[in-house]
Each structure stands twice: as C-alpha cells, then as structure tokens.
Amino acid sequence: MIPPVRPAAASPPRLLVVDDHELVRLGLATLIAAEAAGGPAPEVLEACSLAQALHLYSVHGEGIALVLLDLHLPDAHGLSGLRTFLARFPRAPVVVLSGSSDPALMREAVAAGARDFLSKSSQLDEVLAYVRGLGHCGAARPAPADGRLVQTLDGERLRLTQRQAELLDCLLTGQSNREIAERVHLAEGTVKNHVSALLLLFGVRSRAQLISRLR
C-alpha cells in the first residue's frame, strides 16, 4: 500500500532586522527565539547596513514576513533608507525602528510607506510584543491587512496602518492611554506617541477634536 502523502510543514517566517548596533540585532533575535520556545522559531536575518538589507531582501524577499528597519545606518540617514528600500521593493512589509519618538517623524515615515513606527527608546520587549501581535513568533499566521481607509466628516480620506486603525478604534470608544496600552500590549509612553501621531495625521490638537472629525 502506498502511504498517504502528507502536506509539508509550513516554513517558519523570516524576519529581517536592519540595525548597525549588533546588540540590538542580537537582543531581538534572542527575544524572538525565546518567545518561540516549544514551537518553530522564526528565522532572523540580520543586516548592519542598507546595502546589506537590500541584498538579503533580494535573495529572501518572498519568505520575509517583516522588515525592522533602523533609520540611522552607515549608508543611510533619516527617511532616505526607508524610501530607497521601498522604491526597490514597494510591497515590502517595512516597520521603522528609531531612537526618536517624534510624532512628526512617525507621520512622515508612515506617509513614506512604513507599515508602522516603533521607538527604540523603550525596551526591546516592546518591539517583541509588536512582532508577537502580528503572529510572527511561534507558528505562522496570516499576514495582517495593509490598513484601513478612513474618511472624515468633511470628506478627507486618510490611509491608516493596521496599528493606527487599532488605536483609533480604542480612542473612539473613550479608552485612556493606559487602557489602550494594556489592550494592545505596548508601553504607555509608546501609545502616547502613537496618539500624538494620529492627532497630527488628522490635523487636530485633541482627542475631542479628532472624534468630532469622525463622528
């Protein structure tokens, strides 16, 4: 009797960490491996420069579920690295890593095509929480949606990332930053930064003004 053919096990996702600090790359790789204990750990590819990152993505792009890209690299500074990366690979799932938590920079990064913006000023386990939320630690899950198109009452349409849409939903239900942080597993300070970026994106100065633009 011919034994039944069993489907091949799904390959664990690959993550590309692009940072010129070896300790950051090592720290993330170690945390991700520990998180996946008992299950298939994602393969973490490391790059210390934009050129190296572009090469790795050209080779492994189809299998890379997430790119964590630092904004300050030996061969790129500010948003130039992000723009160069997305110009070559427009559909790459790039999330910015930055030592800055400037809301204006967050807004520019998202406008340039970043899926989200994570600050390195907090602990690396916050970045791990984000990766975990996407299902890239342990067993692979479907990729997240690209985001949501939101229309204000005056007709303006804005494209939000998945994270921004999630936080906006929380804001519209009146949740505090602390409540949002507990719900989405982020540090309260990071939630505050995301909220500030949302206010900037909608051109308002307060939560009340934001709600009035949408309801």
pLDDT along the chain (215 residues), means of 10: 47 85 84 67 89 95 89 93 95 87 81 82 66 56 57 83 85 92 83 82 87 89
Pairing of strands 157-160, 148-151: antiparallel
Structure confidence at residue 145 (pLDDT)? 47
* Contact assessment for residue 17 and residue 68, using Cβ atoms and an 8 Å cutoff: yes
The CATH code of the domain that includes 27 is: 3.40.50.2300
Same domain, 182 and 119: no
Same domain, 154 and 179: yes
How far lies 56's CA from each of 9, 40, 94, 113, 173, in Å?
24, 22, 14, 20, 42
Residue with tokens 């890209």: 69
For the chain, give the percent of residues with pLDDT over 70: 80
Structure confidence at residue 146 (pLDDT)? 53
Q: Could you tell me the pTM of the whole model?
A: 0.65
Same domain, 125 and 154: no
Examine the fold and report which residue of 133, 166, 184 is the final residue of a domain before the chain moves on.
133
Structure confidence at residue 76 (pLDDT)? 94
By C-alpha distance, which of 24, 31, 33, 190 is closest to 122?
190
Same domain, 109 and 65: yes
188 is in which domain, residue-wise?
Answer: 148-214
Structure confidence at residue 143 (pLDDT)? 40
User: 106 CB contacts (<8 Å, ≥6 apart)?
Assistant: 117, 193, 194, 196, 197, 200
Same domain, 128 and 47: yes
Distance CA 15, CA 65 (A): 6
Give pLDDT tens digits for 66-120: 899 999 999 998 899 999 999 999 999 898 988 877 778 888 888 888 888 887 7
